[in-house]
Structure 1
Amino acid sequence: MGKSISVGILFSLILSSTFAQEVSPYGKFQQDSVMIGEEIQYSLSVRYPKEWKVIFPDSTHDFAPFEFYEKQYFPSRTDSTHVFDSAVYRLSTFEIDLVQQLQLPVYLLNGNDSTIIRSNTDSVLFKELVVQVPDSLKFRENLSFQVVDYAFNYPYFMLGLGIFIVLAIGSFLVFGKSIRDKIKLYRMRKAYEKFSLQFERGIIKIKQSETNTALIEEQLVIWKKYMEKIEDRPFTKYTSKEILQMGFEQELKEVLQNIDMSIYGAIDSEEMHKNFEALEDFTLVRYQTKVKEVKNG
Structure 2
Amino acid sequence: MGKKSFLSISFLLFYFISSAQEITPRGYFLADSMKIGEESEYSLSIQYPKNSEVIFPDSSYNYAPFEFYSKRYFPTREDSTYSYDSVIYSLSSFEIDKVQYLQLPVFMLHGKDSIPVLPAKDSIFLVEMVTQVPDSLVFKENTAFHKVPLAFNYPYLGIGIGIFVVLMIIGYFSFGKTIKRKIRLYRLRKEYEKFSRSFEKGIGRVKKDHNTGLLEEVLIVWKKYMEKLEDKPFTKYTTREILNSGYDQTLKDVLRNIDRSIYGQFDDEQIHKNFETLEDFTLERYKLRIKEVTNG
- Please say which structure displays the higher CA radius of gyration: 2
